[in-house]
Amino acid sequence: MPSEQVWSKLQELLDDGLKSIGSAADENALVALQKRFFGKKGEVQAYMQHMKELTPDERPKLGALVNQVRDKLEARFVEAQKHLEEAKMLADLKHRRVDLSLPGRLPMRGAEHPLQKTQREIEDIFLSMGFEIARGPQSEWDYFNFEALNFPEDHPARDMQDTLMLENGSLLRTHTSPVQVRTMLCYEPPIRIIAPGTVYRRDDDVTHSPVFHQIEGLHIEKGLNLTHLRGILQLFAQSLFGKNTKIRLRPSFFPFTEPSVEVDIACIFCGQKGCRLCKQTGWIEILGAGMVDPNVLREGHIDPEVWSGWAFGVGIERVAMLLHGISDIRLFFESDLRFLGQFRR
């Protein structure tokens, strides 16, 4: 082939290459073109065969020209690749619009469970008065749950608490009062403790759950009487429900206290005018209490001639329901974030 022809063919190859690479429709087309032009048997390399047809001084010129053509085609190739990528990204963005004006999404924040919060608030009140926290097991012996608390076996007083028995002869404690005797057996008086914990009864409706929580209080010292009980429980009610909260003691019965009382607070909803929540009486019951029965002190190896004590038991669910105006106890156990989220501070 005469050299002019080689030059013009090479020019044609360049023109053709620039055009077809520039108009490649997609990635696959580009890959095919890459093979066609730059492969080992590609069209650019093929020009090297014409070397032998040229005079010795024309040969280096051809080499340089072929290199130039390859460089230009390669530059166009990189350009085309970039172009295709951009077009793809734009098409993607059209599909999945990003709205930069939207507010950011905050990570979910946890919150204390309302029962936990109420328990902590009650604990704080008694801790500030010098009480300490004590605990006992949830699966309890009949002895501590009933017998030592002056509920004799087969005594009708046991009907007050619908019990869940376990197969090993123990039971799920029906109240936190067993911690009273356990504490007396472990520590010398004077004793000032509160015992928070889970308790169980065979009971289930909108205000009763088979699993619920109580805080027991026990105070043993020389010379205690009902006025001490009244004074501390009054302070407790005022710290929890507001400093003008009035309380009253009503005679009641528990086997392990004598005398026993039920403590009411003046209705916080109607200011004692009478409403559905206080059943038109102006008073709402919040806890049971009383002077520790001498029989119970004796079970705890404490001499009732020397020491006296008073005790109370308060339901945490009940207090939380009153504090927050909750009418269905099951809300505490359903883990519904719409409910639980309202107690975030």
Give the contact letters, 20-59, x = binds to ligand PHE (CB under 6 A), - = no. Answer: ----------------------------------------
Are the C-beta atoms of 176 and 214 separated by less than 8 Å?
yes
User: In a 10 Å sphere around its CB, with 0-12 CB exposed, 13-18 middle and 19+ buried, how is residue 116 labelled?
Assistant: middle
Please, what's the b/e burial string for 36-61 (b: 16 or more CB within 10 A of its CB; e: otherwise)? Answer: ebbeeebebeebeebeeebeeeeeee
Q: Does 308 bind ligand PHE (CB under 6 A)?
A: no
Which of 110, 160, 64 is CA-nearest to residue 340? 110
CA dihedral 123, 126, 131, 132 (to 10 degrees): 10
For residue 26, give both structure tokens. 């997609």
For ligand PHE, the binding residue among 232, 257, 317, 332 (CB under 6 A) is: 257
For residue 244, give both structure tokens. 């003008």
Piece of the chain touching ligand PHE by CB under 6 A; list 87-95, 103-111, 117-125, 283-291: 283-291
Q: What span, in angstroms and rounded, lies between the C-alpha atoms of 287 and 312? A: 7
Q: Does 151 bind ligand PHE (CB under 6 A)?
A: no
Q: Does 288 bind ligand PHE (CB under 6 A)?
A: yes
Piece of the chain touching ligand PHE by CB under 6 A; list 99-107, 136-144, 306-314, 336-344: 306-314
For ligand PHE, the binding residue among 44, 289, 296, 331 (CB under 6 A) is: 289
For residue 38, give both structure tokens. 């730059």
Piece of the chain touching ligand PHE by CB under 6 A; list 82-90, 136-144, 273-281, 286-294: 286-294
Q: Does 313 bind ligand PHE (CB under 6 A)?
A: yes
Residues 164-183 that bind ligand PHE (CB under 6 A): 175, 177
**Least distance from ligand PHE to the Cβ atom of residue 269, Å:** 23
**Least distance from ligand PHE to the Cβ atom of residue 343, Å:** 25
For ligand PHE, the binding residue among 21, 73, 193, 311 (CB under 6 A) is: 311
Q: What span, in angstroms and rounded, lies between the C-alpha atoms of 236 and 215? A: 13
Residues at the site binding ligand PHE, with contacts judged by CB under 6 A: 175, 177, 216, 254, 257, 288-290, 311-313
